[in-house]
């Protein structure tokens, strides 16, 4: 084998070990663990939504602890300023010049905790970074690290004092994942893990966690892009996105409920996520199940309901579910 070719079986083993390690710590959130790894492999950003106490922040911290990359957490609040995120230029009297002090956004892994609690001015500071992988301060533009992953959280309750993310900001997220409460037996397991962790911290016996080299992440991303995607499946993938813009071909009532469909960015995200899921499953080809499994999280924030649909209790997730029912499989 060429020394420059990635050792795909070894990469699969590494990511399988990473997934198992995360699942052992974040019990009852297997779907969230998978989506975190899909976002990492697809080189995209992740928005996780759920009630407080469902391990959203813990899951993201656990992933960061297992990657050989710097990590920063920013608690978004109403008084947060854009410079608190991007950094600012500081005057150095001794040198007679301004020196740029980078903010937390220059870390490869950034946790934006409760992102909807900061005003639009701060949210917009993320737009250039998430879309262009660079930050402009004053007259200078600074590149971000090669690995740059924004992992944001928000909760669907306590909407007083929050600032809903605009559509342009939402579209920068590869996936919008919603999580729910665990089952009873799972919650019992969570209690046991919490007790064991508290004992380990009290006795200072916490074992170090193995960290994956970034070279493995980049090699795995290249391997994901090499997966086989059949032309018929590619057409099905595109047809799902096209149906969100012109649902009248399938159902007039559904068409009235969709105000805006997904953009080509949605098609790109759907393909990348389907490839990543297939690769994580140990396959070298993409199946319709891969596309259908990731479609709700990839498209729910890109398919916008009409006022009529909102009044009837519809949201993007329900619209995507209806599209999946109507667009025929290849």
Residue 276, pLDDT score: 97
Q: Is the pLDDT of residue 201 over 80?
A: no
CA atoms within 13 A on the CB side of 225: 9
pLDDT tens-digit map of 32-71:
999 999 999 999 999 999 887 777 888 888 898 999 988 9
Closest alpha carbon to 165 in 313, 49, 295, 34: 49
Mean per-residue pLDDT, 183-195: 82
Average pLDDT, the chain: 89
Give me the residue spans of the domains in the chain: 8-202, 227-326
pLDDT value of residue 1: 46
Q: What is the pLDDT of residues 274-309, one digit of tens each?
A: 999 999 999 999 999 999 999 999 999 999 999 999
283's CB contacts (< 8 A; 6+ apart) are 227
* pLDDT confidence band for 204 (50 / 70 / 90): low
Mean pLDDT of 240-247: 94
Decide if domain 8-202 falls under CATH 1.10.357.10: no
Domain 227-326 class, CATH top level = mainly alpha
Neighbouring C-alpha atoms within 13 Å toward the C-beta of 127: 13
Instruction: Output the DSSP codes for 47-78.
Output: EEE--TTSSHHHHHHHHHHTBSS-EEEEE--T
Contact call for residues 131 and 43 (beta carbons, < 8 A): no
Beta-bridge mates of residue 149: 109
Is the sign of the CA dihedral 276, 282, 288, 292 positive or negative?
negative
The stretch 157-163 carries a mean pLDDT of 70
Q: Between these two residues, 158 and 23, which has the higher pLDDT value?
A: 23
Query: Which pLDDT score, from 0 to 100, does residue 207 have?
Result: 66
Q: Note whether 216 and 40 are within 8 A (CB).
A: no
């Amino acid at each position: 084998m060429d020394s420059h070719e990635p050792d795909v079986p070894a990469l699969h083993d590494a990511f399988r070990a990473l997934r198992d390690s995360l699942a052992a710590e974040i019990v009852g959130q297997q779907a969230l663990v998978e989506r975190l790894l899909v976002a990492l492999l697809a080189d995209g950003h992740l928005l996780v939504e759920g009630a407080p106490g469902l391990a959203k922040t813990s899951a993201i911290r656990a992933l960061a602890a297992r990657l050989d990359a710097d990590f920063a957490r920013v608690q978004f609040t109403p008084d947060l300023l854009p410079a608190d995120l991007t950094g600012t230029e500081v005057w150095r009297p001794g040198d007679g010049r301004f020196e740029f002090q980078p903010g937390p956004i220059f870390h490869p892994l950034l946790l934006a905790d409760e992102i909807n609690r900061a005003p639009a001015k701060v949210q917009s500071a993320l737009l250039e970074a998430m879309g262009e992988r660079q930050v402009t301060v004053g007259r200078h533009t600074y590149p971000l690290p090669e690995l740059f992953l924004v992992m944001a959280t928000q909760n669907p309750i306590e909407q007083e004092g929050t600032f809903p993310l605009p559509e342009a900001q939402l579209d920068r997220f590869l996936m919008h994942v919603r999580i729910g409460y665990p089952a009873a037996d799972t919650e019992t397991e969570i209690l046991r893990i919490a007790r064991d962790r508290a004992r380990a911290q009290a006795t200072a016996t916490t074992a170090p966690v193995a960290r994956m080299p970034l070279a493995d992440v980049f090699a795995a991303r290249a391997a994901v892009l090499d997966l086989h995607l059949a032309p018929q499946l590619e057409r099905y993938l595109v047809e799902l996105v096209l149906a969100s813009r012109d649902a009248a071909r399938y159902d007039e009532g559904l068409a009235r409920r969709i105000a805006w469909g997904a953009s080509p960015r949605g098609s790109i995200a759907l393909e990348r996520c389907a490839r990543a899921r297939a690769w994580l499953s140990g396959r070298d080809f993409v199946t319709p199940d891969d596309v259908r499994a990731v479609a709700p999280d990839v498209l729910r924030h890109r398919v916008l309901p009409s006022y009529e649909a909102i009044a009837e209790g519809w949201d993007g997730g329900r619209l995507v579910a209806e599209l999946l029912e109507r667009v025929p499989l290849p």
